[in-house]
Amino acid sequence: MGRLRKETPVEVESIKAGETGYERLGGTRLSLIDVVAQSVGFMGPVFSAAFVFPLIAGIVSASGKGAGITSPLAVLIAAVGVFALGWIVAQHARRIHAAGSLYDYVSQGLGERVGAATGWLYYSGTIMLTSGLVVLIGGYLHDTLEAEFNAPIMPGWLWSVVVTAGLFLVLYLGVRLSTRAQLTLALVSAAVVGAFLLYVIAKLGGDNSLKAFDPSQAPDGWSGIFFGVLYGVLIFVGFETAANLGEETANPEREIPRAVLLTVVVVTVFYVIAAYTEVAGFGFSLETLSSAAAAPLFALGAPESAGGYGGTGIVRLLELVVLLDMLAVALGASVASTRGVFALARDRRIPAPLAAVSRRYGTPVGATVFLGAFTVLLIAVNELWDGLFALPETPHYFAMFSWCSTFGAFALIVVYLLLSVGALRGPVDGNRAGVVVAALVGIALTGAAIFGSVYKVTSPTVLAPWYALGWFALGIVVTLAVRGRAPARRVLPDLSSATGE
């Protein structure tokens, strides 16, 4: 008999994994394009161009301040800060490849308990974004069909139920189907809108100008640009969600970091073009832009007689591709949500049945059922309690989406802040000074964005960040009460690289 070999700590933990039964997702091996599609799909660049840019300009913000016609400059500055956050995510992604990686990243710097509470907050935020968006899609479909064709077909709540069923089916059948669907939806919508934006720029000819990048053109100088940057962070929320697919990606230590940073760069180009077109298309006039505040992208697509650059057919095409992008966002948010719920349940931070995996497809069926049930509940609340999130002259479905998206975006930004703070303490491979600089930039950016989330925001929307903080506090209490078990990244050796913990 040969000499007995002493097992390494990783081998010992792997033996324990077999005994305790850590759940595993299916063996799908996603490519770089799949994980890029996840991040881009979640971000929804076309949706942001259609509805969020007026916030950056300051024409619909609660503070009444924004970057005005220098919105493209504010977007660029926000992108630099988000790239710093992406750099931190990339460093962690080279080491940790588990589903639900975001809370694992925070755990590296701030400890397991804080990390678990962070996961509780982060994935609650993605769930709220998912469900609120499904409610919005139903109302958007109903109202758009009624306005354009006088044929709503069925009520908004039923459209939302149909979308929920579609999401469940795609999530259940496999992550590659999800990412390829996101890729198709996001690519088609971005290509159509991108082509239209370039058409408008070409149509302007000699009226194009670099004043959109001149700080002196901002309504309140650098103060206005600062507020534009605060709101500009919101259009990048979700850039990091490729990391949630590390467990299902081939060569995750290489592809996930590349996907996160590539996503920030590519989407920044689209955002700058969109922001520039929306201010240049209205003659660099904040007053004219304000007249189209609700939906400047659609206003640009209107007939020339109405001050636009298109016609009825263009407007309808833009409405269609915005819908496609909203569906891509819903898919991206639901994929991130189900992987996060699965990871928390696998580590026994939340009930174990939520970590159930489909034997046939290897997908997180327990988390998918939970997400579907919560979304149906939110659809019912929106339909039966139409005064819950009431806003003046606003459909309740949009008011509910506004509240849910505020909760979700605030939750994710708080996690970005904790991620940045943790990076100052956590293990780092390579350039330590670069990570410290990125962390300081991330702390400044996310701290400012948190301020912008509550500054002069009115009720009931302003309550969303406070509810998010309350929910985080509850997560801390639950984390202290529920010990869970060793994180999967420690037990399953393929979920951490050789340079890991």
Lowest mean pLDDT among 244-258, 287-301, 405-419, 431-445: 287-301
Lowest mean pLDDT among 86-100, 368-382, 451-465: 451-465
What is the pTM (predicted TM-score) of this model? 0.89
Chain segment 486-501, per-residue pLDDT in tens: 888 888 888 887 544 4
Chain segment 113-164, per-residue pLDDT in tens: 898 999 999 999 999 999 999 999 999 999 888 887 887 788 999 999 999 9
CA 162 to chain centre: 22
Q: What pLDDT is recorded for position 491?
A: 87
Q: What pLDDT is recorded for position 10?
A: 35
Chain segment 67-89, per-residue pLDDT in tens: 889 999 999 999 999 999 999 99
Q: What pLDDT is recorded for position 64?
A: 66
Region 92-102 average pLDDT: 87
Region 330-357 average pLDDT: 94
Query: Would you list the domain boundaries of the chain?
Result: 28-495
- Cα dist from 58 to 157, 297, 448, whole Å: 32, 16, 16
Superfamily, domain 28-495: Amino acid/polyamine transporter I (1.20.1740.10)
Region 19-33 average pLDDT: 80
Residue 18's pLDDT band (boundaries 50, 70, 90)?
Answer: very low
Q: What pLDDT is recorded for position 16?
A: 43
The terminus-to-terminus CA distance of the chain in angstroms comes to 34
d(CA 34, CA 14): 29
DSSP state for residue 6 in the 8-state scheme: P
Question: What residues form DSSP beta bridges with 249?
Answer: 30
Kindly tell me if the per-residue pLDDT of 357 is higher than 80. yes
- Phi–psi pair at 37, nearest 5 degrees: -60, -35
Chain segment 415-470, per-residue pLDDT in tens: 999 999 998 887 666 577 888 899 999 999 888 888 877 777 676 777 888 899 99
Radius of gyration of the chain (CA): 23
Residue 391: helix, strand or coil by DSSP? coil
Cβ-Cβ contacts under 8 Å for 202 (sequence gap 6 or more): none
d(CA 124, CA 471): 9
d(CA 60, CA 195): 27
Q: What pLDDT is recorded for position 359?
A: 87
203-211 long-range contacts, CB within 8 A, separation 24+: 203/309, 204/280, 204/281, 207/280, 207/283, 208/280, 209/280, 209/284, 211/69, 211/70, 211/284
Kindly tell me if the per-residue pLDDT of 53 is higher than 70. yes
Kindly tell me if the per-residue pLDDT of 11 is higher than 60. no
Q: What pLDDT is recorded for position 62?
A: 61
Q: What pLDDT is recorded for position 498?
A: 54
- Cα dist from 446 to 62, 224, 228, 324, 453, whole Å: 19, 17, 13, 29, 10
Residue 234's pLDDT band (boundaries 50, 70, 90)?
Answer: confident
